[in-house]
Amino acid sequence: MHKRIVTLLAGSILLAGCQNLKVPYTEAPVATNFEKTEQSKLQSAAHWQQIAQDTAAQLAASLPSDKRTLYIRQSAEDSKFQRAFNQKLMSALIASGYAVMKHSEAMGSVTVEVKTDYVKWADRAKRDAVMGEITMLTGGLWVLRNIYVHGSPGAAMMGAAVSADAYFAANSKLAKGSRPKHELVVSVVASDNNRFYANETNVYYTTEKDFYNYASQLPASRLQVKEN
């Protein structure tokens, strides 16, 4: 028994020493995580309205006070998102007091162009931890599990009467499901022939099922049939 205790103590000391030992050289940089940040997930056209209004506010803060005439460039290849976003952005800019022109030739106008890039990642970690796990047992009956992972069982039991409400309130901000593998990069550039006035870029989560909303509309291909 005495030898066993000595062996365990020696092993603990050895492990502690290994943890404090820093390896000075590696064959490649060691991967580290960034600090936690939050990123919005696009789940409805109403969200497009919100980000259009936010983008208009960003442009207003960047554009010189004497640049009040704008032209929003549009293309037949724009995605469904781009077409809708352009219209919502136009409405937000007009509401902010800007004159949005139909043609780019207007004297002194600044051209606003919306560009999107759809990014897909091969793998992502599971969703971040939330306050407990709520599960539906049967119709209308839910069970909240693991609510004292970061607290005492006693404290969890004291709040049992309102635990479900607390769960939904604490986690309502978090998107359901695993962390999305698909992201949409939205860049809005304002420029004229001489200079760039603004370049606002934001990144949003989306889902694979919604890809068709963000994919550019490729021009139709024309096939030429040769007769024999």
- DSSP H or E segment with residue 113: strand 110-120
In a domain, 138, yes or no: yes
pLDDT tens for the chain, 228 residues long, are 555 554 555 555 555 555 555 667 776 666 666 566 665 666 667 788 888 899 999 999 999 888 889 999 998 888 888 999 999 999 999 999 999 999 888 778 899 999 888 777 776 555 554 444 444 445 445 444 444 444 444 444 444 444 445 544 544 444 555 566 778 888 899 999 889 999 988 888 777 777 778 777 544 444 455 555
Backbone angles phi, psi at 141, to 5 degrees: -120, 120
The verdict on 209 and 118 lying in the same domain is yes
In a domain, 147, yes or no: yes
The verdict on 72 and 162 lying in the same domain is no
Q: Which amino acid is at 23?
A: V
The verdict on 146 and 189 lying in the same domain is no
The verdict on 156 and 210 lying in the same domain is no
The verdict on 194 and 162 lying in the same domain is no
Distance CA 93, CA 214 (A): 22
The verdict on 99 and 75 lying in the same domain is yes
Tell me the pairing of strands 141-145 and 133-138: antiparallel
In a domain, 50, yes or no: yes
Residue numbers of the domain that contains 160? 133-171
- CA angle 64-202-100, nearest 5°? 40
The verdict on 144 and 118 lying in the same domain is no
In a domain, 158, yes or no: yes
Domain count, the chain: 2
The verdict on 62 and 92 lying in the same domain is yes
- CA angle 103-108-110, nearest 5°? 65
